[in-house]
Structure 1
Amino acid sequence: MNNATSHRQILYGLTADIHFLNLLNQPQLSGKVEQVFNKAINVSIDNHLFTLLSTQLDNAPNSCRLLNNDFSLLNIKNEDNFYLLNNEICIGEHYSLSFSLCKLWQQPVINFIYEKINQRNYQSFLLKQINRLDLILSEARSSLFNYQGDNLFYVASTEKLNQLRSNLISLLKAKQRHGLANVISQFVGLGIGLTPSGDDYLVGLMAFLLLEKHPARAFYPEFHQGIMQSNERTTPISAITLEKALNHEYRENMHQLIQSLVDANETNIYSQFLDILNIGSSSGSDMLFGIRDALYLTHYFGESYVN
């Protein structure tokens, strides 16, 4: 190690996805730290966002999990430089990121099992999970879908979200393409925070509904159109999350839940619902509303879809 890196504290990456590891192939890599949280650090590189995650969090697209539990103990600040030097990434003046222990995290490929959609056992499984989610979400007071306070902005957002939700479900049940992209586009950016409620709802909905071999996969063009024509209305982090969702790229715990829902495996499914619920302050509950509606629509298609 030369003098430029010898004074730096080494941070060790544990797992990273291919997008993050590809940064090592960019000799002119240059970025800036955008946000520092206790469990995550967001970095902007060429108008793309990458994330350093605490070891306590699950893997995610464009991310690297570090051998650190709490980033508040580190001297990393907004606007710190993020650049490549001697096959290590330097962060500000005090740290370098080593990949000597790092392993590749590969996102699984999950396909819906179309043959199960009309089977009585799978229909019963879907109903059970819908009822379970309804119970969980009835207590999710942090979600704008459930807001019951007196803040006029929140009240208006809640009314808009639930009206859009009703319209979207009706269009999908009727297999009506006309107007579908427009309804989807209105979700984008609706709400508050780093990932607004409307965006999180779409992420949860698409995670199951747009699986390969799912009957609703046919509506992918409308989802893509609605999101891409409106992604400038939301936050940079949320826009990237939506784009990743269109490419079936999700957090590790979302993949685990979706696989359990496809397989009708109830062994860990309640704890997997809670893992999603606990994402962020309200993002997880908003995603679960989307997953709940995806299961409802799948059950509906199973009853009425013609092979």
Structure 2
Amino acid sequence: MSEDYFGNIATVDQQLKSWLDDLEETALIGTVHSVFNKVINVLSIDQSNLLTLALEDVISSPWMMKTTDAYLFDKMKSEVAPGDVVRLSKKDTIELNQMEWNYTTASTKYTKIEKKNPTQLILTEAFPNAIYRFIKEQGKDSGLLSAWEIHTMKKSSMTETTNVYVNFFLQALKNMEAAIEENNKAVLKHSYGLVGLGVGLTPSGDDFLLGCLAVWQSFENPLVEQFKEKEWIENVKKRSTSVSAFMLKNGVNGYVNEALVDLLERHQEKDLSTYLSPFLKIGATSGTDMLIGVMFAYEQMNDLNRRQKNGFKSNDRKKCLS
């Protein structure tokens, strides 16, 4: 094979590498699912996973491998199409349309949420406040940010926006908050009001839920257990895009993008700018929407902890915060 058609993978997700290592040489991996400017998605042969080949500046995510070879990536991107076959051509090398990508020397990326140790479980208002300042200055509003501001009384009215999604997001946030405070199965039910809500490859409501799942995973909040029901993932597949469904499936199992992993690992640090800026590279509004989910879940836990500490009942939120 010509050297022009052989590229190297710089980084590979640990889950993906382990899965590939278990395959036999020349095994069929899957078929091309979708092709974008910096990303090529591959649906595994058993349709259980979505693999991604991406350029180096894309934020690392579960089941992703990345290359610094922009020339070969662009050449491949211009020639491949959904349905094209992807296979192992030999050990540590995948082949797509006569182009080979070798990951022998690739560094390994871990996208698993780290559980907090006891010294990291202290919640403060500084963390969500820093996120809010960041997204107000640099984030992009899909309608979810405006809805969240209204919901948290940071915006007094909806006259400042004409976004058609604001009312839908606002109602969904109210329902989720009420269900979380009651700590019952209604959380799962009302999450469907967010699944698929918005536009894009990963709709805003799904990005929001990923942010929530990341926080709940990190702090071992029992709410995350509700989302592990097989029925929920199956319903997500019916209500949203396939890319979103795989994103949320990974999130339920504790696997999220590198930006979320790094941010939650450092939630107690004073200067979060280094860990917030990568979110600007995630989709048009996806990074902002994920951060709103992080704020929402984090503040809900903080409110509940404060109420319990002060002896208030779970539904005494307004009295406690007054």
TM range (shorter): 0.7 to 0.9
Structure 1: 5+ residue runs without aligned partners? none
Inter-CA distance 100–287: structure 2 relative to 1 (3 Å threshold): same
What is residue 276 of structure 2 aligned with on the other side? Answer: 273
**Normalising to structure 1: TM-score of the pair?**
0.83
Helix, strand or coil at the partner of 1:304: helix
How far off its partner does 1:99 sit?
1.9
Counterpart of 1:110 (choices 114, 119, 122) is 114
Deviation readout 1:24-51 (Å, 9 max, x if unpaired): 4323314222222232111122223100
Describe the SS at the equivalent of 1:41. Answer: strand
- 1:16 matches 2:20: no
Counterpart amino acid of residue 13 in structure 1 = I
Note closer, same or farther for the CA distance 1:19–1:111 as it changes in structure 2 (3 Å cut). Answer: closer
Instruction: State, as a whole percentage, how many aligned pairs show the same letter.
Output: 22
* Corresponding residue for residue 161 of structure 1: 169
Q: Does 1:297 align with 2:295?
A: no
Q: Cα gap change, 1:227/1:135 in structure 2, threshold over 3 Å: closer, same or farther?
A: farther
Q: What is the deviation of 1:182? A: 0.6
Moved more, 59-68 or 69-78: 69-78
Distance 2:216 2:3 in 1: 50
Q: 2:249 aligns with which of 243, 246, 250?
A: 243
In the TM superposition, 1:1-307 aligns within 5 A as 5-6=1-2, 9-21=5-17, 22-27=19-24, 28-46=27-45, 47=47, 48-69=49-70, 71-74=73-76, 75-79=78-82, 80-87=84-91, 88-93=93-98, 95-108=99-112, 110-114=114-118, 117=121, 122-123=122-123, 126-139=124-137, 140-146=139-145, 150=162, 155=164, 157-172=165-180, 174-213=181-220, 217-225=221-229, 227-232=232-237, 233-261=239-267, 264-267=268-271, 269-305=272-308
Go from structure 1 to structure 2 and tell me whether the alpha carbon gap of 1:69 and 1:292 turns closer, same or farther (over 3 Å shift). farther
Q: Quick one: distance in 1 between partners of 2:280 and 2:216?
A: 19
DSSP 3-state at the match of 2:227: helix
Change (3 A) 1:229 1:97: closer
**Root-mean-square deviation (Å):** 2.5
Q: Write out per-residue CA displacement over residues 138-189 of structure 1, whole angstroms, 9 at most, x where no aligned residue.
A: 3534423146664xxx51x3211121112212222x2330422110122111
CA contact 2:42–2:52 (8 Å) conserved in 1 = yes
Q: Helix, strand or coil for the counterpart of 1:26?
A: coil
Cα contact 1:32–1:78 (8 A) shared by 2:
no
Q: 1:146 to 1:258 in 2, by over 3 A?
A: closer
Does the 8 A contact of 2:13 with 2:109 survive in 1? yes
Distance of 1:197 and 1:293 partners within structure 2: 14
Give distance in 2, aligned partners of 1:99 and 1:113. 34
Deviation at 1:56, TM superposition (A): 1.9
* TM-score normalised by structure 2 residue count: 0.79
Distance in 2 between the 1:12 and 1:57 partners?
16
Compared with structure 1, are the counterparts of its residues 105 and 211 closer, same or farther at alpha carbon in structure 2 (3 Å cutoff)? same
**Matched residue of 1:16: which SS?**
strand
Q: CA deviation at 1:212?
A: 4.7
Which is further off, 278-287 or 73-82? 73-82
**Contact 1:23/1:29, CA 8 A, preserved across alignment:** no
